[in-house]
Amino acid sequence: MFDATTILAYKGKSKAVIGGDGQVTFGDSVLKGNATKIRTLGHGKILAGFAGSTADAFNLFDMFEEFLENKKGDLLKSVVEFSKAWRKDKVLRRLEAMMIVLNNDHIFILTGNGDVVEPEDGELASIGSGGNYAISAARALKKHASLDEEALVKESLSVAADLCIYTNHNIKTLTLERAK
């Protein structure tokens, strides 16, 4: 995990949600508190979040968007091809970076090592320095609270911000409603 951010994604029954904090750090200093580390891709049908260097995030988001276009929005095919390309690129594979991408059907964690991980439960994924705090809170809240997907992500990220010095309370979320 990286001392960079916290991203949490939840593919629930009625919607898919991704959230992230806004803190950007350099060593032990906070450079910015209101960064946006999540994005909508694939003509609004895919949600993505990034942990790692900000400059790398823009390059990887753009690169992944190209794979989505080439695969006509098919998330599964796109993540496989994107991960192959990321791993094979001599410069990109050295990035200390991770991504979460999801839609209403799939959720994946991607790395420069070529990893394409679909969480065991198929619903929750987290990355970044506060990721373990956020996913732990999300699992507990999912089990013991009656929160919709967006509220669960926000509350879980708030718990992570209380515990992780690299995570702040400037939480942003994006959602995809499930077709009815």
The residues annotated as belonging to the active site are 5
Could you list the beta-strand ranges (E) of 65-134. 98-102, 107-111, 116-117, 124-128
Length of the chain in terms of residues written = 180
Cβ contacts of residue 55 below 8 Å, gap of 6+?
Answer: none
Q: Please tell me the distance from the alpha carbon of residue 125 to that of residue 118, in angstroms, as a whole number.
A: 8
CA-nearest of 123, 57, 109 to 79 is 109
